[in-house]
Amino acid sequence: MKRILQIFAPDKNKIVLSSFLLLVNVLTSLALPTLLSMIVDNGINKLDFPYILRFSIYMLILAVIGAVTMIFAVKLLAEISAGFSTRLRIMTFEKVNTLSFKKVNEIGTGALLTRSTEDAWIIEQVAYGAIRSLVTIPVTIIGGTLLAFLKDWTLAIIMFSCVPILVAVVLFIGKKTVPLWETADKYIDTQNATIKERLTGIRVIRAFNREDREREKAKKATMSMAENIIKANVRIGLISPLSIMLLNLIVVAILFIGTMKMQNPYSLLSAGDILAVIEYVAFAMIGIINITFSIAMFPHAQVSYRRICEVLDAESIPAPSDLDLPALEGNIRFDNVGFVFENATNPAVTEISLEIKKGDRIAFIGGTGAGKSTIANLLMGFYPRTTGEIYFDDVPMNDMSVQRVRKNISCVLQKATIFEGTIRSNIELGKSGASEEEVLNAIKIAQISDFVKEQKEGIEYPIQPIGANLSGGQKQRISIARALLKEAPIYLFDDSFSSLDFLTESRIRMKLSKVLAGKTQIYITQRVASAMTCDMIYVIDKGRIVSSGKHKELLAKSTIYREIYNSQTGGNNNG
């Protein structure tokens, strides 16, 4: 509750003003039945037209005041609920950016998307109704009941007798809908994850003619989601007809008993009083129906809020306090480092011990699944080490924030990630506010100048989401340009040339050897051509370093390296 109030805090003045306007609207509405009963008893019954006209004008004035206040109140409520939703979504988004990769994978990207959108929207709707209900409903019910008592206490008791019955029905129905909403939200997560996966891999799906299979997966999640939502909405939908039926029964009872009482010569009850009480019953019932819907929606909002709080309360990566320290020199040491994926039986890497000096150019080479990229992820702090320690300039990685580690490493990851925007905006991720000259220089080194020159927009060439209008090689070269724009003592290239032809790769490597001279360079690759010019090459197999040395040394002593070399060169061992 404290968190909800904190999110509402910036709009507290609007909440007070909208509450006042709603109060005025309710009071004007409550005054109308009394004026109407006065018109019936003192005007119509006595054929006093001036009286009827005068009080009709009073009713018109009150109606106009009520309408104007409601218009402004609704506008303010819309602004309040939208502001609440905006702040909640920003909080969720900012929190997601501080979560560890383990936590993100645990919750799932589909679930995070749902919680930032669908769950936030549900809470927004309930928040809108709650603010409105907290002011209008108590005043409507209490005020209507008191005014009804002033007219006739018997009729007021009949009117008020429906409240506990209706509240009991709503609470019962609301309790029954909670598990349905929980299940529905889980399937919404599954649906989003399935659709995201399908859209991301649509080319592969179409290449293997698997549209029907993927469609069936999405259909299954959607049907399960819809089934639970329909059941929940049907149960909530019972509230309205039950309330209307109860309202009609009460009106019939009031008319019957009121008519019987009017036949008593000693009764002060008039036709106008009965009409006013029926109006108050209608007001009270509308208020009760509104609050019952709020109560009925509360379980869904509760589920949504609990799901969002699961994200907001998750452990974050600690805020850095060492970003102002001088840049690292570029010395790295692995001391018996190992890592095991959760629920895996075998370690991804184990007993990794090596030392990299400032300015060294080293390479990790091995087959697919050997553990090369895991080493890169450990170095970047994406995965927590299971055993051992990594040192930067003899400082344990545990004593450094991951933000400082990443600040000192410029990397090109295995999967070239491109964002919607332009070539320039994608490259400038490496250095915010970089000059056009710096961007063009990085483009030149990454060997993508020809592509940029072919586009009439140049570096402002628009890129579609996930780089859909770029080839794999273009994505990799833009990623390389992005990394080069960032000034760092350590450069990490994780299988960053796999989509390039050998000539382009050779040109880039020649440029990198000059531009990054004196910087620590780490190449993770399956290509011998990418590794053979490095100062030291580490051969990885089944998560272990099985051999190390320079190119010619490894040709002589490492069977695995020699097999990789022969498979890529046709068996020419003169390299």
Q: How confident is residue 159, by pLDDT bands cut at 50, 70 and 90?
A: low
CB 470 within 8 A of CB 416: no
Please check the confidence at residue 61 and state whether its pLDDT lies above 70.
Answer: yes
The per-residue pLDDT for range 501-523, each reduced to its tens digit, is 888 888 998 898 889 999 999 99
Q: How confident is residue 193, by pLDDT bands cut at 50, 70 and 90?
A: confident
Instruction: Compute CA 398 distance to the chain's CA centroid, rounded to the nearest angstrom.
Output: 30
Q: How confident is residue 246, by pLDDT bands cut at 50, 70 and 90?
A: confident
> Which residues lie across from 233 on neighbouring strands?
none
Torsion over CA of 520, 524, 530 and 536, rounded to 10 degrees?
50
341, 491, 483: which is closest to 417 by C-alpha? Answer: 483
> Residue 549: what pLDDT?
92
The per-residue pLDDT for range 314-345, each reduced to its tens digit, is 888 777 888 888 899 999 999 999 999 887 88
> Residue 550: what pLDDT?
92
Please check the confidence at residue 540 and state whether its pLDDT lies above 80.
Answer: yes
Q: Are strands 520-525 and 536-541 parallel, antiparallel or unpaired?
A: unpaired
Please check the confidence at residue 265 and state whether its pLDDT lies above 70.
Answer: no
**336 phi, psi to nearest 5 deg:** 55, 45
CA angle 234, 238, 243 (to 5 degrees): 160
Could you tell me which residue, 167 or 540, shows the higher pLDDT?
A: 540
Could you tell me which residue, 366 or 3, shows the higher pLDDT?
A: 366
Q: How confident is residue 539, by pLDDT bands cut at 50, 70 and 90?
A: very high
Tell me the C-alpha distance between 23 and 18, whole Å: 9
> Residue 357: what pLDDT?
94
> Which residues lie across from 345 on neighbouring strands?
none
The per-residue pLDDT for range 49-60, each reduced to its tens digit, is 888 888 889 889
Please check the confidence at residue 303 and state whether its pLDDT lies above 60.
Answer: yes
Q: Encoding tokens for residue 558?
A: 């490492």
Where exactly are the structural domains of the chain?
Answer: 84-312, 409-487
Q: How confident is residue 367, by pLDDT bands cut at 50, 70 and 90?
A: confident
Checking 156-162 for CB contacts under 8 A at 24+ apart, the result is 156/277, 158/250, 158/253, 158/254, 158/257, 159/250, 159/254, 159/277, 159/280, 159/281, 159/284, 160/284, 161/250, 162/246, 162/247, 162/250, 162/285, 162/288
Tell me the C-alpha distance between 402 and 399, whole Å: 9
Checking 394-401 for CB contacts under 8 A at 24+ apart, the result is 394/331, 394/333, 400/322, 401/318, 401/319, 401/320, 401/321, 401/322, 401/323
Q: How confident is residue 263, by pLDDT bands cut at 50, 70 and 90?
A: low
> Residue 237: what pLDDT?
73
Those residues with Cβ within 8 angstroms of residue 518's Cβ, 6 or more apart along the chain or in another chain: 358, 359
Neighbours of 106 (CB within 10 A): 12
Those residues with Cβ within 8 angstroms of residue 548's Cβ, 6 or more apart along the chain or in another chain: 354, 536, 537, 538, 539, 554
Q: How confident is residue 294, by pLDDT bands cut at 50, 70 and 90?
A: low
Q: Could you write out the DSSP letters of every residue in 113-141?
A: HHHHTHHHHHHHHHHHHHHHHHHHHHHHH
**pLDDT (average), residues 166-174:** 74
**461 phi, psi to nearest 5 deg:** -55, 125
> Which residues lie across from 354 on neighbouring strands?
334
> Which residues lie across from 492 on neighbouring strands?
411, 522
> Which residues lie across from 511 on neighbouring strands?
none
Q: Which amino acid is at 179?
A: P
> Residue 11: what pLDDT?
85
Tell me the C-alpha distance between 140 and 393, whole Å: 71
Instruction: Compute CA 394 distance to the chain's CA centroid, rounded to the nearest angstrom.
Output: 39
Q: Encoding tokens for residue 300?
A: 């869904």
Lowest mean pLDDT among 238-242, 380-384, 448-452, 457-461: 238-242
For tokens 């991720």, what's the residue?
429
The alpha-helical segments, DSSP class H, found in 408-459 are 423-427, 436-445, 449-454
Please tell me whether residue 549 adopts helix, strand or coil conformation.
strand
149, 150, 167, 166: which is closest to 158 by C-alpha? Answer: 149
> Residue 105: what pLDDT?
77
Share of the chain above pLDDT 90, in %: 23
For tokens 């709009």, what's the residue?
11
> Which residues lie across from 539 on neighbouring strands?
365, 547
Please check the confidence at residue 491 and state whether its pLDDT lies above 90.
Answer: yes
Q: What value does the mean pLDDT of the chain take?
A: 83
Q: How confident is residue 1, by pLDDT bands cut at 50, 70 and 90?
A: low
Q: Which helix (H) or strand (E) holds 383?
A: none
3-state secondary structure string across 142-176 = HHHHHHHHHHCHHHHHHHHCHHHHHHHHHHHHHHH
Q: Which CATH superfamily is domain 84-312 in?
A: ABC transporter type 1, transmembrane domain (1.20.1560.10)
**169 phi, psi to nearest 5 deg:** -65, -45
> Residue 499: what pLDDT?
84
**pLDDT (average), residues 207-221:** 73
- The answer as to CATH 3.20.20.70 being correct for domain 409-487 is no
Q: What's the Rg (C-alpha) of the chain?
A: 35
Please tell me whether residue 395 adopts helix, strand or coil conformation.
strand
Helices (H) and strands (E) in the chain, counts: 22, 12
**pLDDT (average), residues 414-438:** 89
> Residue 408: what pLDDT?
93
For tokens 């007809």, what's the residue?
241
> Residue 352: what pLDDT?
92
Q: Give pTM, 2 decimals.
A: 0.69
Those residues with Cβ within 8 angstroms of residue 358's Cβ, 6 or more apart along the chain or in another chain: 329, 330, 331, 489, 518, 520
**pLDDT (average), residues 98-114:** 78
CB 379 within 8 A of CB 492: yes
For tokens 């968190």, what's the residue?
3
38, 36, 41, 22: which is closest to 80 by C-alpha? Answer: 22
Instruction: Compute CA 389 distance to the chain's CA centroid, rounded to the nearest angstrom.
Output: 34
> Residue 203: what pLDDT?
63
